[in-house]
Structures are given as structure tokens and as C-alpha cells.
């Protein structure tokens, strides 16, 4: 395995990871002192928050979390998709950069991880194993390999120390957010971060992910629109996941295809979300575009990454059915009652809070209520959702969300983002009629 300029070793021990956080804090504090002195010299009275969220500190925070990978990076990703209404725009922008940044392990570290998982003689099982990953993300990286018995595989290898550092990393990120002064005022973020820890522990268990992949393969076995990689249990451990390699182009490449092709692909994905919520009661909740690949020759969509798959309790599924039914009426009182039934929020609302929530909900359900193909490219619905989120935050809204529901909404919000990205026209109302909604 040769050396790679883009590789960077992952700190695998808790003390090493803590030192990175400590060093980050010291470096940012130094920047704050220097920047504060400059601003005072100019006659300004800078705030702590303004000093912390300078471009230099934002870059340091982004770079350090991307080097730590694991939970530190994943929490940034979790909070930057579909959770923008919970965070100030400055912090959301910093965390959003983590969606596209990930280094991969250098060859020596990769070899050690595979030796621990498969034993020192593991190369004897393979005809070829490419040491340069074809993908690198927050928890692991993916390699192309071919076994001696002819299987063409994708091998996902977990970064060392990720599982053991989840709880401490999440706590450290929460501390950074609190110290920044940018935590949502009055909102108890602990339940959200507790749920994030639980989800990350599940994502770090590759045996569980393999089982979820197999379940989705069974659920979609008769559907020729989707391809799910086959799970290869004999080469899978908690730290290494083996699956069939499935070719495909990035889903974003569809933007160069005809309108009808784009519409069809996005319609399939919206339909899948509806099935996950109401039929399967099992949802892959990570909306990262990299989890979808497209095969132009067959118009199939390849589904990847089942680590964030969540079971949906029957009562929650039924609660969503009532909420969608209320959404389709556009009656705010009915929507409010249904939203409370699944603990989207609770308690009394003042006039400004209710106005912001009503605007947010009615904007969010606009594609569902539109009778005919909804033009996501021409719509400003995502901008309106952002603006209502900012308005809601300014009211000091302190009703903590149901964390499980938050992650489901993250997936739904991701579908809106993808539909907008691909400039698709989708008749979501007609899709819902197929599942019993009038």
C-alpha cells in the first residue's frame, strides 16, 4: 500500500482526540484575543459570539472536525441538514461544510485496521484490493476489491477509535456550540444529542448495517426501479462491511438529462420515502446525495449506506398518517393538533411563535397540497422554510423537538433539496393518493 498525499491518520485514542479538541479551543481563543484587540483599537465593542465566528475560526473548526472524523464530523452533518431552523445561519454554514470534507486513512493505518478485523493473512482472500478508497466519509471509507472466488465487492472500513469516542466526541461538539453562544436559546439540546449518540452507535455497528441492507434488499426484491447491494456476511465484522459493488453515476449527474428522466427519478425517491414511512415502517434517514447512484442504461437507482436506518413505531407511522391528512386540508388547527400528537412540539405558543410555525408548516406541505406536478426549481419553498425558521428562533421558541422525528424530517427535507437540485417536477399529491390519501 503506497503513501497518499490526501490521506491523514485518524486520532484513534481518546486522549489524542481530546488533545485535538483542547488544541482547537486554545487556537480559537488566541484568534479571539487577537481579533478583539484589533476591533477595540478601531473603536468597536465586539461581542464574544462575533469574535468566535470569524472566518479564521470557522475554518479552524471545520478543518479540525473533518480531521477527527467520526462523531465529531457526523454531528456537524446531522445538524446541518434539515436542522438549520435550530441553529443560527453562521454556525449552520460552518457545519454544512463538513458534508463535503473527509480525509482518508493512510495505508499503514488501513492495514492495521484490516489486520485486526480479518487477521494478518487477509490478502490471501483477495485477487485485488485497491488501497485508495473510492469514497471517504465521517465514519468510514470504502474500497473496491475482488475476491479469489470472483466476487466484485465494495468494502467499507471504519476509522479506528470511532465507536469508542462517540459519546465524548458528541459531548465535546455540544460544549463547543454552547461556548460559542450559538446554542438555541432556551432549547434543551440534550435529548437531540442523546438521540444523535444512539444513532451514531448504531451506524458504527457494521453488522447491524449489513442486516438493514439485507432487509431493504428483501423489501425491494420485486421492484426493478431500485438496486440494493447484497450483503456479504462472511467478510463483515463490526468494523468492516462487505457488500457487492454496484456501479452507477452520482445522482446529481441527472441534471444533464431530459426533464422527464429527472422527474421520474425524483418521483421514485419520493415514493420510496412514503413507502418507508407507511408500509415498511423502516427508513434510511440519511439524505446525503452520495447515498444514491443512477444507472442511465436501465434508469435504476442504486441505494447505498444503511447505517442510519431507523425502525418507525406503528403509532408514530399512524401519527404521521394523521399529520399528512391534516396537511392536505391546509387547516392550521388540524395540522397543529396532529403535529402535537407526535410530539413535534408541545406547550403554549405566543402569537409570533404560532405565526412562524404556521408559515413553516404550510410552506413545507405546499408540494403535497399542489394538485399536479410541483415545480421544485421554480419554488422558493426551501428559502421560505429557512426564513420561517429564523423568525421562529427569534421568538425564543424553546420547545425541544422529538429527536426521532427530527431525524425523519431530515430525510424528508433532503428529498426537497434533491428535487430542487435536479429541477424536478413531481406530482406528490398523486403519489399520496396511491397510499390512501384523498
Query: For 89-112, how does the pLDDT look when each residue is reduced to its tens digit (9 = 90+)?
Result: 555 555 555 554 556 788 899 999
Mean pLDDT of 121-133: 95
Q: In the structure, what pLDDT confidence band is assigned to residue 182 with cuts at 50, 70 and 90?
A: low
Please identify which residue in the block is written with the cell numbers 473533518: 66
Mean pLDDT of 313-332: 94
Please identify which residue in the block is written with the cell numbers 422527474: 263
Measured CA to CA in angstroms, residue 393 lies from 19, 117, 228 at distances of 34, 46, 40
What is the reported pLDDT for 386?
A: 79
**Helix and strand numbers, DSSP H then E, in the chain:** 17, 13
pLDDT over threshold 50, residue 416: yes
From the CB of residue 48, how many other CB atoms can be counted at a distance below 10 Å?
Answer: 12
**Catalytic sites, residue numbers:** 286
Q: Do 294 and 286 meet the contact criterion of CB atoms below 8 Å apart? A: no
More confident site: 415 or 17: 415
Phi, psi of 140 (to 5 degrees): -160, 175
Closest CA to 409 of 347, 349, 361, 376: 361
Of the candidate ranges 18-27, 212-221, 411-420, the one whose mean pLDDT is the lowest: 18-27
pLDDT over threshold 80, residue 325: yes
What is the reported pLDDT for 402?
A: 73
Cα–Cα dist 365/330, whole Å: 8
C-alpha cell at 85: 431552523
pLDDT over threshold 70, residue 30: no
Cα–Cα dist 154/232, whole Å: 10
C-alpha cell at 271: 415514493
Strands 240-244 and 309-311: unpaired
What is the reported pLDDT for 103?
A: 64
For 371-380, give one letter per residue: b (16+ CB within 10 A) or e: eebbebeebe
What is the reported pLDDT for 40?
A: 41
Element (H, E) at 233: none
Q: In the structure, what pLDDT confidence band is assigned to residue 214 with cuts at 50, 70 and 90?
A: very high
What is the reported pLDDT for 64?
A: 54
Highest mean pLDDT among 86-90, 98-102, 268-272: 268-272
What is the reported pLDDT for 7?
A: 54
Q: In the structure, what pLDDT confidence band is assigned to residue 39 with cuts at 50, 70 and 90?
A: very low
pLDDT over threshold 60, residue 224: yes
DSSP lists the bridge partners of residue 14 as: none
Q: Do 256 and 209 meet the contact criterion of CB atoms below 8 Å apart? A: no
More confident site: 17 or 351: 351
What string of DSSP letters covers 2-52?
---TTB-PPP-SHHHHHHHHHHHHHHHHHHHHHHHHHHHHTT----HHHHH
Closest CA to 283 of 139, 424, 414, 96: 414
What is the reported pLDDT for 389?
A: 80
Highest mean pLDDT among 76-90, 119-133, 336-350: 119-133
Highest mean pLDDT among 178-192, 247-261, 371-385, 410-424: 247-261
Mean pLDDT of 388-403: 76
Q: Is 268 in a helix, a strand, or coil? A: helix
What is the reported pLDDT for 261?
A: 97
Cα–Cα dist 50/35, whole Å: 10
Mean pLDDT of the chain, nearest integer: 81
Phi, psi of 367 (to 5 degrees): -65, -30
Measured CA to CA in angstroms, residue 10 lies from 115, 141, 214 at distances of 17, 12, 30
Q: In the structure, what pLDDT confidence band is assigned to residue 405 with cuts at 50, 70 and 90?
A: confident
Of the candidate ranges 89-98, 269-278, 424-433, the one whose mean pLDDT is the lowest: 89-98
Q: Do 141 and 104 meet the contact criterion of CB atoms below 8 Å apart? A: yes
From the CB of residue 40, how many other CB atoms can be counted at a distance below 10 Å?
Answer: 11
For 343-358, give one letter per residue: b (16+ CB within 10 A) or e: bbbeeebeeebeebbb
More confident site: 388 or 144: 144
Mean pLDDT of 70-81: 53
Mean pLDDT of 181-198: 68
pLDDT over threshold 60, residue 291: yes
Q: Do 361 and 339 meet the contact criterion of CB atoms below 8 Å apart? A: yes
What is the reported pLDDT for 147?
A: 98
pLDDT, tens digit, for every residue of 226-254? 999 999 999 999 999 999 999 999 999 99
pLDDT cut 90: percent of the chain above it: 50
More confident site: 182 or 261: 261
Amino acid at each position: 500500500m503506497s503513501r497518499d498525499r490526501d490521506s491523514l491518520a485518524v486520532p484513534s485514542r481518546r486522549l489524542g482526540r481530546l488533545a485535538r479538541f483542547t488544541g482547537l479551543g486554545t487556537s480559537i481563543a488566541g484568534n479571539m484575543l487577537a481579533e478583539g484587540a484589533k476591533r477595540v483599537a478601531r473603536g468597536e465593542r465586539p461581542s464574544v459570539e462575533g469574535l468566535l465566528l470569524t472566518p479564521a475560526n470557522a475554518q479552524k473548526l471545520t478543518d479540525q472536525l473533518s480531521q477527527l472524523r467520526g462523531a465529531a464530523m457526523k454531528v456537524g452533518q446531522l445538524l446541518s441538514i434539515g436542522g438549520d431552523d435550530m441553529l443560527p445561519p453562521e454556525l449552520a454554514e460552518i457545519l454544512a461544510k463538513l458534508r463535503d470534507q473527509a480525509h482518508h486513512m493512510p495505508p499503514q493505518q488501513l492495514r492495521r485496521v484490516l489486520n485486526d478485523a480479518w487477521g494478518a493473512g487477509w490478502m490471501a482472500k483477495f485477487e485485488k484490493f485497491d488501497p485508495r478508497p473510492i469514497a471517504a466519509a465521517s465514519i468510514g471509507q470504502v474500497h473496491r476489491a475482488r475476491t479469489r472466488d470472483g466476487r466484485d465487492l465494495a468494502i467499507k472500513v471504519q476509522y479506528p477509535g470511532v465507536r469508542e469516542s462517540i459519546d465524548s466526541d458528541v459531548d465535546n461538539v455540544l460544549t463547543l456550540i454552547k461556548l460559542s453562544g450559538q446554542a438555541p436559546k432556551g432549547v434543551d439540546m440534550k435529548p437531540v444529542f442523546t438521540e444523535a449518540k444512539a444513532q451514531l452507535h448504531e451506524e458504527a455497528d457494521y453488522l447491524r448495517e449489513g442486516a438493514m441492507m439485507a432487509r431493504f434488499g428483501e423489501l425491494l426484491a420485486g421492484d426493478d426501479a431500485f438496486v440494493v447491494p447484497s450483503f456479504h456476511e462472511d467478510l463483515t465484522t463490526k468494523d468492516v462491511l462487505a457488500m457487492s459493488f454496484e456501479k452507477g453515476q452520482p445522482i446529481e449527474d441527472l441534471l444533464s438529462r431530459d426533464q422527464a428522466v429527472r422527474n421520474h427519478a425524483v418521483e421514485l425517491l419520493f415514493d420510496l420515502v412514503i413507502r418507508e414511512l407507511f408500509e415498511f415502517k423502516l427508513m434510511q434517514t440519511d439524505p446525503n446525495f452520495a447515498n444514491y447512484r443512477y444507472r442511465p442504461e436501465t434508469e435504476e437507482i442504486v441505494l447505498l449506506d444503511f447505517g442510519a436506518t431507523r425502525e418507525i413505531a406503528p403509532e408514530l407511522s399512524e401519527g404521521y398518517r394523521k399529520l399528512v391528512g391534516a396537511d392536505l386540508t391546509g387547516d392550521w388547527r388540524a395540522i397543529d393538533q396532529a403535529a402535537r400528537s407526535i410530539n413535534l412540539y408541545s406547550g403554549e405558543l405566543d402569537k409570533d411563535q404560532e405565526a412562524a410555525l404556521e408559515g413553516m408548516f404550510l410552506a413545507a406541505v405546499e408540494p403535497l397540497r399542489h394538485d399536479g406536478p410541483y415545480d421544485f426549481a421554480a419554488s422558493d419553498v426551501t428559502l421560505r422554510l429557512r426564513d420561517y425558521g429564523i423568525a421562529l428562533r427569534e421568538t425564543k421558541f424553546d420547545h425541544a423537538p422529538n429527536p426521532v422525528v427530527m431525524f425523519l424530517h431530515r430525510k424528508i427535507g433532503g428529498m426537497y433539496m434533491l428535487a430542487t437540485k435536479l429541477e424536478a417536477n413531481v406530482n406528490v399529491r398523486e403519489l399520496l393518493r396511491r397510499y390512501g390519501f384523498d
